[in-house]
Amino acid sequence: MSETVPFASLGLGDALLRALDQLGFNSPTEIQQRCIPPLLRGQDLIGQAQTGTGKTAAFVLPILQQLNASGPHPQALVLTPTRELALQVSEAFAALGQSAPATQVVCLYGGQAYHHQLKALKRGVSVVVGTPGRVMDHIRRGTLQLESLRTLVLDEADEMLRMGFVDDVEWILGHTPEARQLALFSATMPKAIERLARSYLRDPQRVQVDAKSSTASTVRQRHWVVQGINKAEALGRILEVEPADASIVFVRTKQASTTLTDQLLSRGLRAAALNGDLSQDLRERTLDALKRNRLDVLVATDVAARGLDVDRITHVFNYDIPNDAEAYVHRIGRTGRAGRTGEAVLFVMPKERHRLRSLERALGVQITPMQLPSGADIERKRMERFAERVRSSIEDQDLAPFQALLAEIQQASGKAPDQVAAALLYLAQESSPLQVPPEVRPSEARTEHKGREKPGARHNLEHSGERQTYRLEVGREHGVLPKHIVGAIANEAGIDGKHIGHIRIRDHYSTVDLPSGMPDEVFRALQRTRVCQQPLRLSVWEGQTPSGSSEAPKSRGKKETKAKFKHKPSPPHRRAAAS
């Protein structure tokens, strides 16, 4: 393509140009340069690009440019396959539309209480971002009216196909004005997406780009799929064991930066937050503390970290997976500079694995998996540091008074010198224990033989070998299909479709087999999740389908079993309702 041109040449208004400048975006990426002009002209468009090419801004900027303040109903709708992507697109609208206060954006996705969404829609919105299922629910309820819609964007269309949402997307398309503009973005173009494009787009402009981002060869890139323990605990473990000088931890929001900073401080780490709420003076003092070795960990948002250049940084942690490869490259470029080696660690939620694959394809690299340090690793590192402090004291301190005290204690107790010394070492480490409590060692977290979970243990939904059957209070009478259940569980529990077992649709309810060992927070989220306007009210299935009944599932060669997940002894909210 031709050389990069400035944003000002693409036809964007002054307010958007100011927002781009404030965010540190100097020039458009290739997909932005090629998509923004036709979208501003009102053309339909097919954009084929991997994650990492900057495609979100490629459609957000034209939408913001064309919004007007009149009318209470949405002028633009962006459909995404997951709530995480919906939230990210909403954040992009908020960041890029900061100079346009009249812009009202609402994010609609399953798992969030309806009253928040209804309140926003009643107040009036100009842009709706959402997942297909929740958008359909609002259209059916009459709470989302699309007669004023001017632009519809299908983001990550191939992911929507993979998750079984294409029929839902077509249903939504059938409820939009014929004259609306339609833009479709997809990393790949399977036949079903091509058919969708032929059916609904009018003489579309086609744009196909490849990501040009690259990462430094001096940076070792690793990823950890979140399982067993939470991300904050995992981050603390890595920082304890790896020889990190200074680290930057990238998070998505200001709130996350302050929350995580507090968690790291409680572990005894010298940490500080860097976000957009900091004054320029405080920002400069924070960076100076990092440079002068008075601070070891900086928890930062992308915007706040722009222009940051500190030689001490050996580790970059992508605590929240970045929106695209360009942001990823920008983040990890903070280490491995001037020929030095650096470490980049990416935390990936199970439901974000497809984004990891997209990053790898876009960058042409393999981000290798890593194992977290074990409890034994942490203990060994703590012992080494403690022993070094003891050796240093022997060499540097006047120990004569303490030797006299040691002799007195030994004589009074009648114990051997090594026993007394061991007791003193124990007391010295009591406030900062060298040993890791067994219940927080991931390799040792096991469910006891009676099904009661050990304190602090968390379950790995993706890798458990056992299945548990759950009942859902939604069935044929509500119009539910297996794809609706798969989509809801994939979004709320972060379980890949391949890990979701048999789904049996009954007249008044359904059952589904999931990996056993569901954490309480996931269980509660699925109870609140709505499918076909019905709350799932998930519960453990404790019944058996009578053989030969009209509702008995077809045999698949496996014996039906009773539920055995008894995480807590018979709590009322987990008992299956009588069928």
**Are residues 366 and 402 part of one domain?**
no
pLDDT of residue 496: 65
- Per residue, the 3-state secondary structure of 470-517, as one string, reads EEECCCHHHCCCHHHHHHHHHHHHCCCHHHCCCEEECCCCEEEEEECC
User: How many angstroms separate the CA atoms of 157 and 48, rounded?
Assistant: 10
What is the tally of structural domains in the chain?
Answer: 4
Beta bridge partners of 76: 127, 151
Mean per-residue pLDDT of the chain: 80
Residue 518, domain member (yes or no): yes
Query: Is the confidence at residue 230, as pLDDT, over 60?
Result: yes
Q: Tell me which residue range forms the domain holding 554.
A: 467-574
User: How many angstroms separate the CA atoms of 89 and 149, rounded?
Assistant: 18
Radius of gyration from C-alpha coordinates of the chain: 28
**Are residues 562 and 545 part of one domain?**
yes
Q: Is 366 left (phi over 0), alpha (psi -120 to 50) or beta?
A: beta
Q: What percent of the chain has pLDDT over 90?
A: 29
Of the pLDDT bands very low, low, confident and very high (cuts 50, 70, 90), residue 389 is confident
pLDDT of residue 425: 82
pLDDT of residue 247: 94
**Are residues 488 and 539 part of one domain?**
yes
Most confident of 146-150, 473-477, 486-490: 146-150
Burial state string for 499-521 with b = 16 or more CB within 10 A and e = fewer than 16 = bbeebbbbeebbbbbbbbbbbee
Most confident of 101-105, 314-318, 353-357: 314-318
Residue 239, domain member (yes or no): yes
For residue 329, the Cα-to-chain-centroid distance in whole angstroms is 18
Query: Is the confidence at residue 209, as pLDDT, over 70?
Result: yes
**Are residues 562 and 476 part of one domain?**
yes
Q: Where are the beta strands (DSSP E) in 189-319?
A: 205-208, 219-225, 246-250, 271-274, 297-300, 313-318
Residue 2, domain member (yes or no): no
**Are residues 18 and 165 part of one domain?**
yes
Return the sign of the alpha-carbon dihedral for residues 134, 139, 140, 142: positive
Of the pLDDT bands very low, low, confident and very high (cuts 50, 70, 90), residue 221 is very high
CATH number of residue 139's parent domain = 3.40.50.300
Query: Is the confidence at residue 419, as pLDDT, over 70?
Result: yes
**Are residues 235 and 271 part of one domain?**
yes
**Are residues 283 and 192 part of one domain?**
no
Half-sphere exposure at residue 417, Cβ-oriented, CA atoms within 13 angstroms: 5
Mean pLDDT within 28-45:
93
Residue 492, domain member (yes or no): yes
For residue 123, the Cα-to-chain-centroid distance in whole angstroms is 29
Query: Is the confidence at residue 101, as pLDDT, over 70?
Result: no
Number of DSSP helices (H) and strands (E) in the chain, helices first:
19, 20
Of 176, 208, 240, the one marking the end of a domain is 208
Half-sphere exposure at residue 510, Cβ-oriented, CA atoms within 13 angstroms: 27
**Are residues 103 and 114 part of one domain?**
yes
Q: What is the pLDDT of residues 62-97, one digit of tens each?
A: 999 998 866 678 999 999 988 878 888 888 898 888
Mean pLDDT within 258-282:
87
Of the listed ranges 282-296, 362-376, 532-546, the least confidently predicted one is: 532-546
**Are residues 499 and 532 part of one domain?**
yes
Of 143, 176, 208, the one marking the end of a domain is 208
**Are residues 413 and 505 part of one domain?**
no
Query: Is the confidence at residue 226, as pLDDT, over 80?
Result: yes
**Are residues 37 and 132 part of one domain?**
yes
